[in-house]
Amino acid sequence: MPTDDTIAQTTPFYLWDTTAADSTLQVLEVNLGIPMDSIFPPIDRPEPLQRNSLFTHHGMPLLHEQPVARRNDAEPAWMFIVLMALTVLLVVYYRTRKISLGELLKSTIDSHATDRLVRSCNMVRVSTLVPAGLLTVAMLSVAVFQAAMVHTGPGGYLLLTGGIAVAYLLRNLVVRLLGNVFDSKENVSAYITSNYLYHLVLATAVLPLLFLQVYMPWGNMVVLYVIVALTVLVFVLRLSRGVKVFLTNSKGSSFYLFYYLCTIEIVPFLVLTKWLFD
């Protein structure tokens, strides 16, 4: 009977798959007596670093998690109408009174420019000045509303605007009464006129900021601080102009000027600022 070696030698390579199942291939194991670790020592590979993708934090948010067009809690429809109405009224006031923005800005630092603007634009009567103050009140009310009263809706905005407008007009009335009492009608009239011009400048600067405050996600408090800074700047400028007018032309005592500044100007402004940021 042929052995396995005989089968492996006599069977062609293309018939090896047809050989008997019990025919086995002898594999020689060579042991040289040398440990394999000494020839190929193991290599300590560090753990692969897990790095975040550069685009991990730049993915588009899901609409149900974070809307793309995110706005404040105010109703966009009616607030947009209010902002557009204020814009139209401000433009109409500039056109009807034929006010030059350059002359208006000069009037805030130069009393001679104030006199020229008042004469050229016929802004002597109260009826021509009050709309500028009311526009300023309406715009500042939007800023206050967005910061502290947005949950009250349009009714809250109307009440806020009406309350500030009444206080504003009463304040001017008290100033005129004090002027009559201390025989300083002309000085008080010049002071109130300059106040209206300062307030018109403030309204012009605040209006574009209101669109950012209402419709930008980051704009609510950031823009509010900018508006407060502009309001403080205008307050200081017009107050310094008023002190200059009273000290140079008024015949009254400086004590009454100090009393007026504390009760009519400084204290209400501080109370409003404290209420807004508390």
Please spell the DSSP secondary structure of 32-74, one letter per residue.
-S--HHHHS----PPPPP----TTGGGSPPPTTTS-SS---SS
Report the number of distinct structural domains present in the chain: 1
pLDDT over 70 (residue 125): yes
Domain containing 123 equals 76-277
Please give the mean pLDDT across all residues of the chain: 75
Query: Has residue 70 been placed in a domain?
Result: no
Q: Who has greater pLDDT, 272 or 160?
A: 160
pLDDT over 70 (residue 187): yes
pLDDT over 80 (residue 44): no
| Structure confidence at residue 189 as a pLDDT band (50, 70, 90) | confident
pTM above 0.75, yes or no: no
**What pLDDT score does 67 carry?**
40
Mean pLDDT value of segment 125-134: 89
Query: Has residue 16 been placed in a domain?
Result: no
In angstroms, the Cα distances linking 146 to 90, 140, 163, 210, 223 are 21, 10, 16, 9, 10
Q: Who has greater pLDDT, 258 or 227?
A: 227
Query: Has residue 196 been placed in a domain?
Result: yes
**What pLDDT score does 12 carry?**
58
Query: Has residue 33 been placed in a domain?
Result: no
Contact of 171 with 199, CB cutoff 8 Å: no
**What pLDDT score does 58 carry?**
47
% residues pLDDT > 90 (the chain) = 26
**What pLDDT score does 136 carry?**
95
Mean pLDDT value of segment 57-82: 55
Least trusted range by pLDDT, from 80-94, 124-138, 223-237, 243-257:
243-257
Query: Has residue 42 been placed in a domain?
Result: no
How far apart (Å, rounded) are the C-alpha atoms in residues 192 and 205? 20
% residues pLDDT > 70 (the chain) = 62
**What pLDDT score does 37 carry?**
55
Query: Has residue 253 been placed in a domain?
Result: yes
- Per mean pLDDT, which of 52-66, 123-137, 237-251, 254-268 is the most reliable? 123-137
Query: Has residue 36 been placed in a domain?
Result: no
Query: Has residue 67 been placed in a domain?
Result: no
CB neighbourhood size of 206 (10 A): 23
**What pLDDT score does 158 carry?**
93
Which candidate, 80, 104, 92, 93, places its Cα nearest to that of 210? Answer: 80
Contact of 121 with 99, CB cutoff 8 Å: yes
| Structure confidence at residue 178 as a pLDDT band (50, 70, 90) | confident
Reported as a single tens digit per residue, the pLDDT across 6-42 is 555 555 555 555 545 555 545 445 555 555 555 555 6
pLDDT over 70 (residue 252): no
